[in-house]
């Protein structure tokens, strides 16, 4: 639906497309657009933090359009479970949802994924729109058809593909983010610079060094660069199973660290973006060990991670064995043949230049090399303890 007064960029993923509307201080425009859906009910999938911060801005206006059922849970990756999905589906049906209902993914990438699977399953598919409130969601996860939840063994093991009706972003919502969450999304934008759009690296370095990250012009620049980078590789690979796998840079070890830390600290653990940035530090060092990435290129990774406040060492309390157990069940293993002692990863031979083929930017890496690099990034005290234990 249209959103007067907002900019619009079409997101083309393979043979499907949907509009991405964005602007500043435009919540009224978003509500006007949602009113055109003729929904008999809105199912708002969110988390308790987003609800407390932004619920009033959206929900009052929504209730003037149609009945609203709010499906909210405590924030954190633990939302993405089969149990919570089942609970939301049962509540939606009990509330009177029909095929005319519209699911609104309101928040970050976690409620967005949960909302996507819910919308795909409810009556075999109902309409869904994204209203992102985090930089991770706005600049990364909503630019995708992938919808997934976690298993007890790893991230995004259960899911499907669903095309949203549209994305509606008010960048003013991003300005209220805690600094940790703001920078989490910038880690994903940095991934796009390193792996896809190296021309943007100098501007990103300057922005992080002296820019106001919450200024509307900064957020809009970051958004537009992210949209251009991500759609550039998914235009011909909507399911991100070929060339689009470049977007998985940093995710093999990053997902493992994120999952382990979430189990240890819950929502207080490292964010998705921070974990991916750490995963890029690991990937860069592996590429350097293989002789395909220079020391200077590794140093740029470190510089950006430091400027973003991402972890430069393994988060305290997590062991190398825990990380490696999750790496072994990473969901990229099925894309190519890998031995029991190998991981499948995205590595770079230079900024914007992945190893592997253009159609499948993946390579196999000995698990022992991954383990050695991760071990080298343990905090000093933890490294000494592991050496003593060995």
Which positions are catalytic?
146, 248
- From residue 323, give the alpha-carbon distance in Å to each of 158, 255, 319: 20, 9, 7
**Sign of the torsion angle spanned by Cα atoms 301, 302, 307, 309:** positive
Give the number of other Cβ atoms within 10 Å of residue 178's Cβ: 12
Q: Is residue 190 within 8 Å of 276, Cβ to Cβ?
A: no
* β 16-23/7-13 pair status: antiparallel
d(CA 55, CA 242) in angstroms, rounded, equals 38
| Through-space distance between the first and last CA atoms of the chain, rounded to whole angstroms | 60
Question: What one-character-per-residue DSSP string does 4-20 give?
Answer: TTSEEEEEEETTEEEEE
Structure tokens at 30: 């978003």
- Smallest CA-to-CA distance from 237 within 345, 112, 359, 344 is with 359
* β 353-354/348-350 pair status: antiparallel
Q: Is residue 230 within 8 Å of 241, Cβ to Cβ?
A: no
Strand partners, 73: 47
d(CA 359, CA 349) in angstroms, rounded, equals 16
């Amino acid at each position: 639906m249209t959103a007067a007064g907002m900019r619009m960029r079409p997101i083309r993923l393979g043979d499907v497309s949907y509009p991405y509307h964005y602007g500043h201080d435009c919540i009224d425009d978003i509500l006007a657009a949602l009113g055109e859906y003729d929904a008999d009910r809105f199912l708002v999938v969110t988390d308790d933090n987003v609800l407390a911060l932004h619920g009033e801005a959206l929900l009052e206006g929504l209730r003037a359009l149609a009945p609203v059922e709010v499906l909210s849970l405590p924030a954190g990756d633990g939302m993405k479970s089969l149990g919570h999905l089942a609970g939301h589906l049962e509540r939606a049906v009990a509330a009177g949802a029909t095929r005319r209902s519209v699911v609104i993914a309101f928040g970050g990438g976690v409620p967005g994924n949960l909302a996507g699977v819910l919308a795909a399953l409810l009556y075999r598919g109902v309409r869904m729109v994204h209203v992102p409130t985090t930089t991770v969601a706005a600049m990364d996860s909503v630019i995708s058809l992938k919808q997934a939840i976690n298993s007890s063994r790893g991230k995004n093991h259960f899911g499907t593909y669903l095309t949203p009706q549209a994305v509606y972003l008010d960048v003013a919502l991003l300005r209220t983010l805690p600094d940790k969450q703001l920078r989490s999304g910038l880690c994903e934008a940095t991934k796009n610079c390193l792996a896809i759009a190296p021309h943007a690296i100098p501007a990103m370095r300057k922005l992080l060094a002296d820019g106001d990250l919450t200024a509307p012009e900064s957020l809009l620049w970051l958004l537009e660069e992210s949209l251009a980078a991500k759609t550039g590789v998914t235009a011909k690979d909507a399911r991100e199973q070929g060339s689009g796998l470049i977007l998985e840079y940093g995710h093999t070890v990053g997902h493992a660290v994120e999952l382990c830390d979430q189990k240890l600290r819950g929502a207080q653990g490292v964010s998705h973006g921070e974990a991916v940035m750490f995963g890029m530090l690991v990937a860069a060092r592996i590429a350097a060990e293989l002789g395909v990435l220079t020391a200077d290129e590794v140093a740029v990774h470190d510089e950006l991670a430091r400027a973003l406040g991402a972890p430069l060492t393994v988060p305290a309390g997590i062991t190398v064995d825990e990380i490696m157990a999750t790496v072994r069940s990473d969901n990229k293993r099925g894309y190519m043949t890998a031995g029991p002692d190998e991981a499948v990863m995205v590595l770079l031979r230079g900024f914007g230049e992945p190893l592997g083929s253009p159609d499948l930017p993946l390579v196999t890496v000995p698990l022992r090399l991954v383990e050695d690099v991760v071990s080298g990034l343990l905090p000093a005290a933890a490294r000494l303890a592991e050496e003593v234990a060995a």
